[in-house]
Structure 1
């Protein structure tokens, strides 16, 4: 190379960077959806365990233990984001469950405090007793879900 030649690095545009990042993301998603050729479906669970039953731990599936009764505060509740459910205990021993997705613009609710289930996206608040709207902009209540209390276990019904 002579002294009068100028070498420049290739310029990468913002569009090319975003397309590349999108391609990597799509590859990761597709890889996660791949098949598993192991004999037990890819679990280390023993025969008879719920892990061998593909529907046993699916959101909304019966028998899916969410928490223990002693973990849900009286007058409050817990959010199980992975299951899209909120479990509340308005009064001692009375357990309720609702969708964890705000009816305003489908944001996940973020906390349970002061007797309400709260969405921090736009400030909507819902009753821990019946899911009704206590403060807008939401106009529709949270959808009720069924839970079963078996001893100290709270499960989706």
Structure 2
């Protein structure tokens, strides 16, 4: 019996890899880690700029201060394809994956393709501490 040629082996290997690659899911959202438990101290009020905000990635929360002394919190996971939002600037919470933008005032969609607002999160301000409740 003759040994298989190098071409036969490489062709078989390439076909096997193509089969495995074909099983991968394309375009589906990536699973996101579980959010932090309630009563987690996120930071200090002085760290949240007026007219801006800060993303707390491990807790999946973005905290904003639309006007002096008013703090809002929202999920930091984009409602389009579950990417984490990347920044807070110029009055919006921004997702770099596909360009969605949300209002720092109420989490509403300012620019799609996001289909829904960011869900609100409950926070408590105690002194200068911001706590996720």
Q: Which of the five TM-score ranges fits, normalised by the shorter chain?
A: 0.7 to 0.9
- 1:59 has 2:46 as partner: no
- 1:113 has 2:76 as partner: no
Q: Give the distance between the partners of 2:98 and 2:88, measured in 1 at CA.
A: 15
- 1:153 has 2:115 as partner: no
SS in 2 for 1:144: coil
Query: For residues 66-111 of structure 1, what are the alpha-carbon distances to aligned partners after superposition, in whole Å with 9 as ceiling and x for unaligned?
Result: 0101010000000011000000000000000000000000000000
Following TM superposition, by how much is the alpha carbon of 1:60 offset from its aligned partner in structure 2, in angstroms? 3.9
Q: Give the distance between the partners of 1:88 and 1:110, measured in 2 at CA.
A: 14
Q: Give the distance between the partners of 1:79 and 1:60, measured in 2 at CA.
A: 16
Q: Which has the higher contact order (CA 8 A, sep 6+)?
A: 2
In the alignment, structure 1 segments of 5+ residues that lack a partner are 1-12, 17-57
- 1:73 has 2:49 as partner: yes
SS in 2 for 1:145: coil
SS in 1 for 2:58: helix
Q: Give the distance between the partners of 1:102 and 1:81, measured in 2 at CA.
A: 13
Following TM superposition, by how much is the alpha carbon of 1:145 offset from its aligned partner in structure 2, in angstroms? 0.2
| Segments ≥4 residues shifted beyond 3 Å | 13-16
Q: Give the distance between the partners of 1:106 and 1:139, measured in 2 at CA.
A: 11
What TM-score comes out, normalization by structure 2 length?
0.73
What does 1:39-54 align with in structure 2 at a 5 Å threshold?
A: none
In the alignment, structure 2 segments of 5+ residues that lack a partner are 1-12, 18-34
